[in-house]
């Protein structure tokens, strides 16, 4: 079982991916998290990708595709995978399709979380991420202070380096140019589930699970 989750930066795909992967017992693979971990480790991959991330640009396809295809060979992927943040352009979508085809597999569903542009900017400039469970929290008028902990797991909260106005603008423009065609790609294959991404986290998780169920993808 292979599912991809697509949405603009700030659409809540990371948070939803954590919930859906847990509910469906899938391995959660988030390309952005893998890159951030490499940057934090300060290894060769981290050094290679840091500048692209800081600028809000996509990391070159050959680096990204290699990293994801390697990750897909790890044992925890045996029960299925939820890919979060990959594929982000048509080249990546085709490379994934080819690699899965070689193993007699295919993407089963693509979940597209739709949020208006104004709401995306609002969310991105106010979000705090938990280092432990990766869930994003909205700061609103009282942004969590440095001492605040994640209300779900008690982990430390931080603001992403690329959640600043300049980089947000770039990331959104990359999304509209490069990633929107991927949505069409899966629509044409009749794999797309379009989800209204405005509402509480729990409500949106419910919408996704319902949509998967309606297409007889999960039995509940």
Catalytic residues: 13, 88, 127, 160, 171
**Contacting ligand AMP (CB under 6 A), which of 12, 32, 144, 197?**
32
Q: How far apart are the C-alpha atoms of 113 and 188, rounded to whole Å?
A: 17
Binding mask 80-99 for ligand AMP (x = CB under 6 A): -----xx-x---x-------
If DSSP codes are grouped into helix, strand and coil, which group holds residue 213? Answer: helix
Question: Rule CB under 6 A: is residue 59 a binding residue for ligand AMP?
Answer: yes
- 9 touches ligand AMP (CB under 6 A): yes
| 197 binding ligand AMP? (CB under 6 A) | no
Taking 3-state DSSP, the helix, strand and coil percentages for the chain, each rounded to the nearest 5, stand at 50, 15, 35
Minimal distance, residue 174 CB to ligand AMP, in Å: 7
Distance CA 87, CA 179 (A): 8
Residues 6+ apart with CB under 8 A from 19: 201, 205
Residue 52 is a binding residue for ligand AMP (CB under 6 A): yes
Which candidate, 123, 161, 172, 141, places its Cα nearest to that of 36?
161
Considering beta carbons, is residue 54 or 189 the nearer one to ligand AMP? Answer: 54
CB 59 → ligand AMP: shortest distance, Å? 4
Nearer to ligand AMP, 153 or 161 (CB): 161
Q: Which CB, 173 or 213, lies closer to ligand AMP?
A: 173
CB 89 within 8 A of CB 178: yes
Could you say whether residue 64 binds ligand AMP (CB under 6 A)? yes
Q: Considering beta carbons, is residue 50 or 156 the nearer one to ligand AMP?
A: 50
Query: Could you give the maximum distance between any two Cα atoms of the chain, in Å?
Result: 50
Q: Whole-angstrom Cα distance, residue 28 to residue 4?
A: 10
Is 171 among the residues that bind ligand AMP (CB under 6 A)? yes
Quick check: 12 binds ligand AMP (CB under 6 A)?
no
Residues 6+ apart with CB under 8 A from 48: 59, 63
Positions that interact with ligand AMP (CB under 6 A): 9, 31-32, 35, 52-53, 56-59, 64, 85-86, 88, 92, 162, 171
């Amino acid at each position: 079982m292979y599912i991809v989750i697509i949405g603009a930066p700030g659409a809540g795909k990371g948070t939803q991916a954590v919930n859906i992967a847990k509910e469906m017992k899938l391995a959660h693979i988030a390309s952005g998290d893998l890159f951030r971990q490499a940057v934090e480790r300060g290894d060769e991959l981290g050094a290679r990708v840091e500048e692209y991330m800081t600028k809000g640009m996509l990391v070159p396809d050959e680096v990204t595709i290699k990293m994801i295809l390697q990750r897909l060979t790890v044992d925890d992927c045996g029960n299925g995978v939820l890919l979060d943040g990959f594929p982000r352009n048509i080249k990546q979508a085709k490379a994934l399709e080819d690699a899965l085809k070689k193993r007699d597999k295919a993407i089963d569903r693509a979940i597209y979380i739709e949020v208006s542009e104004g709401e995306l900017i609002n969310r991105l400039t106010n979000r705090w991420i938990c280092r432990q469970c990766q869930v994003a929290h909205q700061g609103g008028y009282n942004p969590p202070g440095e001492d605040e902990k994640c209300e779900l797991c008690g982990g430390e909260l931080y603001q992403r380096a690329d959640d600043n106005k300049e980089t947000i603008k770039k990331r959104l423009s990359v999304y509209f140019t490069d990633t929107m065609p991927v949505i069409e790609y899966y629509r044409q294959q009749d794999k797309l589930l379009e989800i209204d991404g405005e509402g509480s986290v729990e409500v949106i998780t419910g919408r996704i699970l319902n949509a998967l169920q309606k297409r007889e993808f999960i039995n509940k």
